[in-house]
């Protein structure tokens, strides 16, 4: 990246950090975060239309070898991609393999542009590190009951607990400040696929450390994580 462009992006990062100080609502402050760190079952919204998570094997249970969580994606849950109910943003795990099985409902997923489907009894779909992927409830009438396992566990349990804690306190994941979301993704060892890699590296190495250093946002909070 040319030197002038680096200067412009750096200035933008500082401006974003300053904006975040103003835009961050009271929900992100400690007094407004509801303690839920020890919950085995937790929600990812307070609107009753999001996902419910049940920890099957925690990071602590496996000494960090893996993490297994059962997720109920309710029919009609909002997603990051229109038309894909309950979908996270397309993302990349840098170190972890993520495997999915379906207990009931309709599960669809996309890996590096290829769409697949799972039904109960199918062989697990496993996505290795470095591959862009997204998943969703492909039936707007029936809830999706599925389970994912992340190997190794990494920081994913802290990530999902923090995201759901913030989403529940705020109303939904869509209400989480985008800068907070970036800090969480970096802390969870992930990359948001829609962001070009050079830009994401700048976010990862400059923007996020700046936000953390200024104590504007953190990747986890003690109210939410074990």
Mutual orientation of helices 178-187 and 3-23 as an angle, nearest 10°? 110
pLDDT in tens, 9-52: 555 555 555 554 444 443 444 446 777 777 899 988 766 678 99
Q: What is the mean pLDDT of residues 90-97?
A: 97
- Phi, psi torsion values for 155, nearest 5 degrees: -105, 20
**Percentage above 90 pLDDT, the chain:** 68
Q: Which residues pair with 20 in a beta bridge?
A: none
Q: What is the pLDDT of residue 68?
A: 98
Q: What is the pLDDT of residue 4?
A: 46
Given a cut of 50, whether residue 2 has pLDDT beyond it is no
Q: What is the mean pLDDT of residues 58-76?
A: 96
Does the predicted TM-score (pTM) go above 0.95? Answer: no
Given a cut of 80, whether residue 82 has pLDDT beyond it is yes
Element (H, E) at 74: none
């Amino acid at each position: 990246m040319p030197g002038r462009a680096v200067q412009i992006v750096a200035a933008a990062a500082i401006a974003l950090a300053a904006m975040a100080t103003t835009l961050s609502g009271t929900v992100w402050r400690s007094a407004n975060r509801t303690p839920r760190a020890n919950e085995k079952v937790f929600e990812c919204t307070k609107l009753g239309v999001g996902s419910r998570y049940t920890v099957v094997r925690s990071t602590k249970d496996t000494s960090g070898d893996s993490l297994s969580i059962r997720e109920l994606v309710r029919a009609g849950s909002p997603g990051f991609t229109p038309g894909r109910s309950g979908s996270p943003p397309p993302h990349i795990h840098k170190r972890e393999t993520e495997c999915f099985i379906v207990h009931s409902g309709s599960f669809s997923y996309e890996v590096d542009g290829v769409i697949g489907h799972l039904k109960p009894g199918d062989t697990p779909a496993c996505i290795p590190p470095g591959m862009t992927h997204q998943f969703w409830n492909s039936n707007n009438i029936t809830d999706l009951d599925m389970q994912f396992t992340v190997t190794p566990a990494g920081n994913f349990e802290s990530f999902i607990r923090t995201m759901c804690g913030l989403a529940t306190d705020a109303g939904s994941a869509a209400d989480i400040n985008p800068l907070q979301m970036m800090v969480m993704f970096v802390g969870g060892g992930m990359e948001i696929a829609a962001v070009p890699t050079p830009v994401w590296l700048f976010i990862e190495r400059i923007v996020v450390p700046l936000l953390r250093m200024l104590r504007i946002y953190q990747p986890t909070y003690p109210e939410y994580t074990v």
